[in-house]
Structure 1
């Protein structure tokens, strides 16, 4: 039984490494473990505690470019960067 658990942990670690490598090639920050942690927590507090993942996904729900950048970087399943260039809500907020 211990061998199966160890094998499952090793397989999960290898899969997470693979997902992280794919994301790094695309310039993204993702991974299986990160997705699980964010899903379980429900609200993720990072660098700036004034923002937290609360289910908002669209530019029309954001109040500022900084808030949109936080959501794009830290919250799963957002739809804030339509051209995948790393800049959220370009049409919604004027460039700085």
Structure 2
């Protein structure tokens, strides 16, 4: 039994290494640990009464600026901030003017 557990741990470590190498080539941060953390973080925030991570990823699927911000902040694998300035869906929901 211990051999199977050790083998499973080694397989997960190899898979994590592979994910990290592929992500580095694309200039992204990835890996098994990050995927698990994002999944847990998304599960925790699913309890927010207004919004929940439900698989939507794109601006045309959002209903409001607040919803887009929630998805950008808490849900993995979204594509809501093309210019990486922290403001999601700027063309669909322009940021408010700050005087």
Could you say which TM-score interval applies, normalised by the shorter chain?
Answer: 0.5 to 0.7
Cα root mean square deviation, aligned? 3.6
Structure 2 stretches lacking a partner, 5+ long: 10-15, 21-29
Which residue of structure 1 lines up, in the alignment, with residue 58 of structure 2?
58
Residue 46 to residue 90, structure 1, CA distance change in 2 (3 Å): same
TM-score between the two structures when normalised by the length of structure 1: 0.58
Which residue of structure 2 lines up, in the alignment, with residue 44 of structure 1?
43
Shift of residue 66, structure 1, vs aligned partner: 0.6
Structure 1 stretches lacking a partner, 5+ long: 10-14, 20-29
Residues 42-73 of structure 1, C-alpha deviations (whole Å, 9 max, x = no match): x5242971211100000000011110011001
Moved over 6 A (4+): none
Which residue of structure 1 lines up, in the alignment, with residue 92 of structure 2?
92
Give yes or no for contact 1:45–1:52 (8 Å, CA) kept in 2.
no
TM-score between the two structures when normalised by the length of structure 2: 0.56
The structure that has the greater radius of gyration is 2
